[in-house]
Amino acid sequence: MDAEIDIDKYQALIETYAIPWGIKLIAAIAIFVIGRIIAKFIVRLIKKVMERANVEQTLRDFLGNILQAILLVVVVIAALEQLGVNTTSVLAVFAAAGLAIGLAFKDSLSNFATGIMLIMFRPFKTGDFIEAAGIAGVVEHIRIFNTVMRTGDNREIIVPNSQIYGGIITNYSARDTRRIDLVIGIGYEDNIGTAKKIIEDIISKDDRLLTDPAPTIMLLELGESSVDIAVRPWVNSGDYWPARADLLENIKNTFDAEGISIPYPQRDVHMVQSAA
């Protein structure tokens, strides 16, 4: 008789607790497994869409990881709900943890947000020569939190993205051509026409200086010590610095050979001696 009571008791426990909990556990595992498969499929689909939209590889990977983490959290919460766990408290813990992390890493989050904007809007790309955050150099890497630049003297400088995006960005490589702006001063006793003709000849002999757009050579100003001539030829962006240096050198040497002076600022001082 006692054995029959024990069997009935265990059977009641199994029917009341074990079977429902087992069904819930199996359903929760199924939700987790199937949810992960669906999450991976969604992430792959989103990455393909971003790839077709020519989104930067770094941004694709990062957003894909973020999306996968969010979907995984949703799947875990759904599985916990199936088990009967109160997910409201779980969400409250996640929210509190997110707030604490956000306050602790607000500077990093700022760099992260601006890093995404730099990658999405592309004010510059890898290989461009830019000036930003007080640094001039070639962009080597654009990362989520910082940008790596190489200066002209081969220094590697890592700049936080928030400092770059929060200021003025000058991209010298954004256009195929650049204009060289020079001001050449000659003496008041020198012939302006002759000086301009010499400069025209020098420009015409340098293949790096473009004919379209045409170079500009014009009288700019009658200065205190010199007659200033503006010299503005165009070059391909990659030829800017060597072409500029050679142009200056050729103008100086040719002016010296042709007897055209390049004056420098000077003052006449008159000494007045008072009578004793």
Is 248 among the domain residues? yes
The pLDDT > 70 percentage for the chain reads 80
Judged by average pLDDT, the poorest of 118-132, 195-209, 243-257 is 118-132
Question: Same domain for 21 and 65?
Answer: yes
Is 265 among the domain residues? no
Is 207 among the domain residues? yes
Is 113 among the domain residues? no
Integer Cα distance of 113 and 119 in angstroms? 10
Instruction: Name the more confident of 230 and 144.
Output: 230
For 113-132, the pLDDT digits (tens) are 888 788 778 899 889 999 99
Half-sphere exposure of 160 (CA within 13 A, CB side): 10
Question: Same domain for 140 and 194?
Answer: no
- What is the count of structural domains for the chain? 3
pTM of the model: 0.62
Strands 227-232 and 234-236, bridge-based pairing = unpaired
Range of the domain at 92: 2-104
* Cβ atoms of residues 39 and 72 within 8 Å: yes
Q: Which CATH number goes with the domain that contains 241? A: 3.30.70.100
Is 115 among the domain residues? no
Question: Same domain for 167 and 181?
Answer: no
Backbone φ, ψ for residue 259 (5° rounding) = 75, 25
